[in-house]
Amino acid sequence: MVLVRVINYLARKDKAFRVIDTHGGIGEYDLAGIEAGKTGEWLQGIGRLLDGDTADHIAVRHDPTVVRYLEIIRAFNPVHPASLDHASDLACYPGSPALARHLLRPQDTLLVNELHPEDATLLKAHFARDRQTTVLNLDGWVVVKSALPPKERRGVILIDPPFELAGEFDRMAKALTEGVRRFATGVFVLWYPIKDAAAVARFKRHVAGLRLGDTIAVELRTSATGGSSRSDAGGLSGTGLVIHNPPFGLAEWLSGLMPALCRILARDAGASWSVEALGAD
């Protein structure tokens, strides 16, 4: 949803922009497939948003950005495009590259990277014959250097590593520093899982200490103790985003949306949300 909001903001001006996704995955996901069925993770996210008719559900689903987000998901589920009101109607979920591509205008471009060879092959197949999209098969951390600044001089950089290796927080902070040095006006969106509260706190202090300018962190904890089937022993209790150069009004929009969204996605009484500034000039 945040990516949709950011891209829509950039599209308010006629001038072209570029979306760069450093860790793109496969583009879209078969929710009946082995991996999706194994984790069932999507049921705790988009599934919960669709399955419910409380005041919170209605309020969130009527937010203009969420409406646009759900329109895109409907486009990827043509069997039930008009009745996508329940999780059971979902067969496919668009990943960040597919979401971004759907929002591009003719003058905009997408550069998406994926290191894993098999995933990169699927990604290239997904965007075959798409002249507005370039697919790379590189280390995502290299892309932050090689792809910046974009020729359009406007854009958003999504950095969302899988967090399968140690040291990802340090690599993200380094990538943000390097990225801002090369493309100071870009919107940088960094995704991270919340498993180790101490590690997350260190990362945010690190980013704040960089004093890069306007930067916020938004977090949604659906549980106090974790419990995701794909998480490590510490448990995945939520996810967060660090956003550098957030579009005007983004923090306020998040602060208005998050209370209801948190109640919808909560797995226990320990669910919480936050939007905080991480430093200024």
Angle of helix 168-182 relative to helix 197-210, nearest 10 degrees, comes to 20
Per residue in 243-260, is it b (16+ CB within 10 Å) or e — as a string?
bbbbbeebbebbeebbeb
**Active-site annotation, residues:** 160
* φ and ψ at residue 278, rounded to 5 degrees: -115, 25
Sheet holding 272-277, edge to edge: 133-136, 109-113, 18-21, 155-159, 187-194, 238-244, 215-221, 272-277
Q: How far apart are CA 251 and CA 108, in angstroms?
A: 25
